[in-house]
Amino acid sequence: MTKSDHHHTTTSHPGASRPLPTTVWTPDSNNPSGVSAPGEVLPGWALDKIRAEFTHRPGHPPARLIKIHIRDTEPGMDARARVTYLAPHEDGRSARPAPVLLAELHPDTLPAPDDEPVRACDEMPGAMENGWSGFFHRAHRLLFRNGVLLLATRQRRDAGRLTDPLGSLIASARTAGFRYLQHIVIIHGHPDGDRITPTPPEGAPPGLIHSDLLVLSAINSA
């Protein structure tokens, strides 16, 4: 696999009506390991890059970066999610931007290929609902001041094939009031001369060499 530029950009439209930018992230030569920690979606170097790219905004205090690790979407899923604060926040009376919420989604919790986004006839799905519909509505309530939601996902194997859940996730997020901004492809590998040697995450299906990071912004309707 040939080494790619960190910001190589193309276009992609999972679940979208028009092309949106896709960026490829690969590890630097000073980040020799691209292996994710057991049970995690993203390698450590990608978390460092997320912190640098999304929490520092010129002219504003740094945003909090909150990572939640989701392993199921059954009732009470929020209580079972593991929460980690990856960027400190400053105390004080000055207004702080909305936090950046990074949700790492375990492959077993992702929508099945034939799942349809939730649609309601008389009212929008509410924050009290279970599953992805309720999750996105609750996230929107937290990020209502134009906050950023990052979804870290990866393909899963269904009936012997790698399947892509991005379209269903984006459709559910849009229903809850998010705008889809960007798709970042995070390569699992380590630099080896002018190539990247794949280092797939532990437990990943054969053939998987990247994870996906979706960038979504909460639409402020006020």
Give one DSSP letter per residue of 42-105, joined into a string. SBHHHHHHHHHHHS--TTSPPPPEEEEEE---STTHHHHSEEEEEE----SSS--PPPEEEEEE
Q: Give pLDDT, residue 91.
A: 52
Instruction: Give the end-to-end CA distance of the chain in Å, rounded to a whole number.
Output: 47
DSSP 8-class letter at 110? S
Q: Give pLDDT, residue 145.
A: 73
Q: Give pLDDT, residue 13.
A: 46
Q: What is the pTM of this model?
A: 0.78
How many other β-carbons are positioned within 10 Å of the β-carbon of residue 126?
12
Task: Count how many Cα atoms sit within 13 Å of the Cα of residue 121 in the half-sphere of its side chain.
Answer: 0
Q: Give pLDDT, residue 90.
A: 54
Task: Count how many Cα atoms sit within 13 Å of the Cα of residue 222 in the half-sphere of its side chain.
Answer: 7
Q: How far apart are CA 222 and CA 207, in angstroms?
A: 45
Judged on CB neighbours under 10 Å (0-12, 13-18, 19+), 18 is: exposed
Q: Give pLDDT, residue 8.
A: 47
Q: Give pLDDT, residue 164.
A: 75
Q: Give pLDDT, residue 119.
A: 46
**What are the average pLDDT values for consecutive 10-residue runs of the chain, which has 222 residues?**
45 49 82 65 89 83 86 80 71 61 82 52 53 87 85 77 79 92 90 80 76 91 54
Q: Give pLDDT, residue 23.
A: 92
Q: How far is CA 29 from CA 23, 26, 124, 196, in A?
A: 19, 9, 47, 10
Q: How far is CA 63 from CA 17, 39, 53, 67, 87, in A?
A: 31, 26, 11, 13, 8
Identify whether the C-beta of residue 161 lies closer than 8 Å to the C-beta of residue 205: no
